[in-house]
A and B are shown apart, each in its own frame.
Chain A
Amino acid sequence: MSSWSQSLSNFEEGAVANDFATFTGNKALELEESLIFEKPDAFNQTGVDFDDAPEISGDKLGGINREGQIGLAGLSEPETIRHYTRLSRMNYAIDMGFYPLGSCTMKHNPRLNERVARLPGMADVHPLQPVKTAQGALQVIYDLHEWLVELTGLPAIAMSPAAGAHGELCGMMAIRSALEAKGDKREIVLVPESAHGTNPATAALCGYKIQSIPCDEFGRVELGAFKEALNDRVAALMLTNPNTCGLFETDILEISKELKKVGAFFYCDGANFNAIVGRVRPGDLGIDCMHMNLHKTFSTPHGGGGPGSGPVTLSAELAPYAPVPIVVKNGDQLDLIEHVGETKSFGRMKGFHGQMGMFVRALSYMMSHGADGLRQVAEDAVLNANYVLASLKDVMSPAYEGSCMHECLFDDKFLKDTGVSTLDFSKAMIDEGYHPMTMYFPLVVHGAMLIEPTETESKEKLDEFIAAMRHLAEKAKAGETDFFAQAPVYSPRRRLDETLAARQPVLRWSKDS
C-alpha cells in the first residue's frame, strides 16, 4: 500500500535543498498530515469507551447482521480536530488572501451576514414547522424576493433553485412549459460561445438541440451569425451578460428585439450580475428570465464554505410555471403554496423552500448596503477590474481591446516563445501567495487568464498583486523558464500530475489501493 503523502512527496525529489530536512517531515508551522485512514492503528481504536456489546443473535436482525468491520477510522476527539485543522491549513481561502478566480466572484463574505444567520430564530427554524409559527422566516424569503424583483425589473421569482446551474434549469423548464402550453414545439436553443458552459448543458437536459453562436473579434455575440441562426424553431437564446470574457453584450437590445420577433424567449445567465446590479435592470433589456447567484453577487459563502443559491426572476408570461413552493401574502399573513394542485407550476425542484441560510445572508447583505451601496458594489467591481487591466496591459496581452466589466481577460500572446505556459505562470502565482486566476477559460481565448478582483479588495492589495504579476511577466520574458517549470516550490505539495489524476482517477481510499 502506498500512502497518499508518500506518493505525493515523490514529486518533491530533488526540488528543494535537503540540508534542512526534518525528521518528521514537518516544516515548523507547516505540518504534514496523512489521510485519516492512514493514521497508525486507525482501525483498532476508538475515541469513546463502549461496554462490550451484548451478543445479538443473527436471526433477530432478519439475516442482515454485519459480518465485518465498517471500515471507519476511530480517532479521539483531539486527534480528529488536529487532523482536520492541519488539512485546512494546507488550503487557501478568501479569508487568507487575494483570490482573483475569474467567473467565480470570490468576494469577502461579511461577518454581519454570519451573525444574522446564527440568530436562533433564523438558525433553529424547521421547514416543517406550522406556517403561522414561521412567519419571520417567510418574511425573510418574501423580502428577499421583493429586493430581487426590484433589482431585476422582472415581476416574479422562483426562490428554491440551489445553485446557478439549478437556476438555469428552472428557467429553461419554465420556458419549455410556457411553449408546451401553447402547443409550440420549438426544438433549438441558441448559445453563444461566450456563455457559461452550463448553459448548453441545461438546454440539452431540457431536450433542446444546441446551436452555438460564434464570438466576434470584440469578444461579443456575432450579431450576423445570431440573426442567421434565428427562426421560429428557436425556443430561446441563453446569453451570459456580462459574458465570460468580462464584456457587456452591447447589442443586447437588438438581440432581444429580434428574439421577440420570432416568438423566442430570452434567458439571461445572471451569474455576473455583480457587475451591473443596481445599474441595469435586466427586465428593461427585454430579458424574460434570469437566475442570480446569491453566493456571488450577494456575498454568501461558496467554494467549500457554503451551498450555492440560485433564485430565478421571471417575466409575467413565465411566472405561472414557476416551481413550488411560493411564498404569498394573504392580508397580514404569509403563506406557502406547496402543491402544484390547480396551478400551472411545472412542479418542485428541491425539498423544502430553498437555501434558507443563504437567503438570510443575502438579505442581510442587501439591507446593510442599501440600494446605493449595491450600485457601488457594481461600480467598484468594474473599477477594480479595469484598474488591474490598465495596470497590466503593457506587460501582459489583453484578449480584447477596450475596457472590461467586472473581470479582465488576457491571452497567452505575451508568453509566446518564452517556453512558459499559462499553467506554469499560474503555478508561480501560488508561490507568490495568490490563488491563481481562472485559466484556459473561456475556451475562445488561447491560454486564457481571467482575473476577477471583486469590489472587496483595497487599492493597496491590488497594487501589490499588480506588482507581483508584472514581476512574473518580466521574468517569463527574460527567459527564466526553469523558475516557472519548478513552480510551485512553497506549496504543501509540488506540481501534481493532473494527467495521471484524470486518466486513472482514484476517487476513494481503499485498503488495497
Chain B
Amino acid sequence: MLKFSKDHEWVEVDGDVATVGITQYAADALGDVVFVEVPEAGATFSQGDDAAVVESVKAASEVYAPLSGEVTEGNQVLADNPGMVNEDPLGEGWFFKLKVSDAAELEEMMDEDAYNEFIADL
C-alpha cells in the first residue's frame, strides 16, 4: 500500500516496516541528485523529524520522517549512486526502511489519487 506526504515522500508498508523514499514529483523538481545521506539503522525519529539529506545541482533539502519509528536499514546504494533517486525514485531509489511505531499516523497520509490531485495544484 503506497501512501504519500505533503512533503513529497512516499511510504510503502509491509507488515510493520515502511520503506520511505521521495516521489517522482520531488525528484523532478530537485533535478539531478548529486548526494544523498541516509540514516543509520537504529536511529529513531518522530514524524516530521529531519531523517535524510538530498542534494541536487539546484538545492539541498531535508527528507522528513513521514512516520515515527526506528530505522532498520538505510539504502547504502545511494551513497555511490545518488542518480538512482532520479532514475527510479519509487523503486531502487528508496531512502530508508522504518519500523513503524504508530500505525495511526499512516491514516493521515494521502493515497495516490489524493497526492496526484495535491501536486496538480502546485
Interface mask (A429-452 → B, CB under 8 Å = 1, otherwise 0): 000000000001101001000000
A51 to B59, CA, bound (A): 55
The answer to whether A499 touches B34 (Cβ under 8 A) is yes
Interface residues of A in 481-513 (CB under 8 A from B): 498-499, 502-503
Q: A503-B82, A503-B83 are contacts. A498–B57 as well, Cβ < 8 Å? A: yes
Q: Which residues does chain B contribute within 8 Å of A443, judged by CB atoms?
A: 59, 61
Q: Mark B26-51, 1 if CB is under 8 A from A, else 0.
A: 00010010110000000000000000
Residues in A neighbouring B6, C-beta threshold 8 A:
none
Chain A, Cβ-Cβ closest to B29: A446
Closest Cβ of chain B: how far from A16's Cβ, in Å?
25
Size bracket of the B interface:
10 to 19
Is A502's CB under 8 angstroms from B34's CB?
yes
- In the complex, what residue of chain A is closest to B59 when comparing beta carbons? A443
Known: A503-B82, A503-B83. A440 touches B35 (CB 8 A): no
Complex Cα gap A192–B122 (Å) = 21
- Within 8 Å CB of B59, what residues of A? 440-441, 443
Q: How far is the CB of A188 from chain B (nearest CB, A)?
A: 15
Are B58's CB and A502's CB within 8 A? no
> Which chain B residues lie closer than 8 Å to A440 at the CB level?
58-59
B58 touches A503 (CB 8 A): no
Assembled-state Cα–Cα distance A446/B58 (Å): 11
* A441 proximity list for chain B (CB < 8 A): 59
Within 8 A of A (CB), among B41-100: 55, 57-59, 61, 82-83
CB contacts (< 8 Å) of A502 on chain B: these are: 32, 34-35, 55, 57
How distant is the Cα of A116 from the Cα of B11 in the complex, in angstroms? 63
Expressed in whole angstroms, the Cα–Cα distance for A443 and B61 within the complex equals 9
- Determine the distance from Cα of A441 to Cα of B60 in the docked complex, in whole angstroms: 11
Cβ B58 vs Cβ A499 within 8 A: no
Nearest-Cβ distance from residue A186 to partner chain B, whole angstroms: 20
Chain A nearest CB from B97 CB (Å) reads 25
The residue in chain B whose Cβ has the minimal distance to the Cβ of A498 is B57
Interfacial chain A residues near B29, Cβ < 8 Å: 446
Distance in angstroms between the alpha carbons of A488 and B118 in the assembled complex: 36
Cα(A499)–Cα(B83), bound, Å: 9
Smallest CB separation, A480 vs chain B (Å) = 22
Expressed in whole angstroms, the Cα–Cα distance for A300 and B83 within the complex equals 41
Chain B residues within 8 Å of A503, by CB: 34-35, 82-83
Q: Give B122 Cβ to nearest chain A Cβ, in Å.
A: 8
Q: Which residue of A lies closest to B86 (CB)?
A: A499
Kindly list chain A residues whose C-beta atoms are within 8 Å of the C-beta of B34: 499, 502-503
Q: How close is B87's CB to chain A, nearest CB, in angstroms?
A: 13
In this complex, which of A441, A446, A498 has the most chain B Cβ atoms within 10 angstroms of its Cβ? A498
The smallest C-beta distance from B23 to any residue of chain A, in angstroms, reads 16
Q: CA–CA, A441 to B58, complex, Å? A: 9
CA of A441 to CA of B59, assembled, Å? 8
- Taken together as a complex, chains A and B put the C-alpha atoms of A89 and B82 apart, in Å, by 36
Report A368-404 residues with CB < 8 Å from chain B CB: none
Complex interface: chain A residues within 8 A of B122 (CB): 446
Bound CA–CA A49/B96 (angstroms): 62
**How distant is the Cα of A499 from the Cα of B35 in the complex, in angstroms?**
10
CB-defined contacts of B57 to chain A, threshold 8 Å: 498-499, 502
Complex CA distance for A440 and B29, rounded to whole angstroms: 11
Bound Cα distance from A350 to B102, whole angstroms:
50
Most A C-beta atoms less than 10 A away, residue of B34, B35, B59, B122: B34
List the A residue with the shortest CB-CB distance to B61: A443
Q: Output the residue of A443, A498, A499 with the most chain B CB within 10 A.
A: A499
Q: In the complex, which residue of chain A has the Cβ closest to the Cβ of B35? A: A502
How many whole Å from A420's CB to the nearest CB in chain B?
Answer: 14
Please indicate the chain A residues that have their CB under 8 angstroms from the CB of B35 in the complex.
502-503
The residue of chain B having its C-beta at the shortest distance from the C-beta of A503 within the complex is B34
Q: How far is the CA of A133 from the CA of B82 in the complex (A)?
A: 59
CA distance A498 to B59 in the complex (A): 13
Shortest C-beta distance, A435 to chain B (Å), equals: 18
User: CB-CB < 8 A to A499: which residues of B?
Assistant: 32, 34, 57, 83
**Chain B positions within 8 Å of A446 at CB level:** 29, 122
Residue numbers of B with Cβ under 8 A of A are: 29, 32, 34-35, 55, 57-59, 61, 82-83, 122
Listed from nearest, the 5 A-B pairs whose CB atoms lie closest are: A502-B34, A499-B32, A440-B58, A498-B57, A503-B34
A sample of 10 more A-B contacts (CB under 8 A), given A441-B59, A503-B34, is A440-B58, A440-B59, A443-B59, A498-B32, A498-B57, A499-B32, A499-B83, A502-B57, A503-B35, A503-B83
The contact sample of 22 A-B pairs, CB cut-off 8 A, is: A440-B58, A440-B59, A441-B59, A443-B59, A443-B61, A446-B29, A446-B122, A498-B32, A498-B57, A499-B32, A499-B34, A499-B57, A499-B83, A502-B32, A502-B34, A502-B35, A502-B55, A502-B57, A503-B34, A503-B35, A503-B82, A503-B83
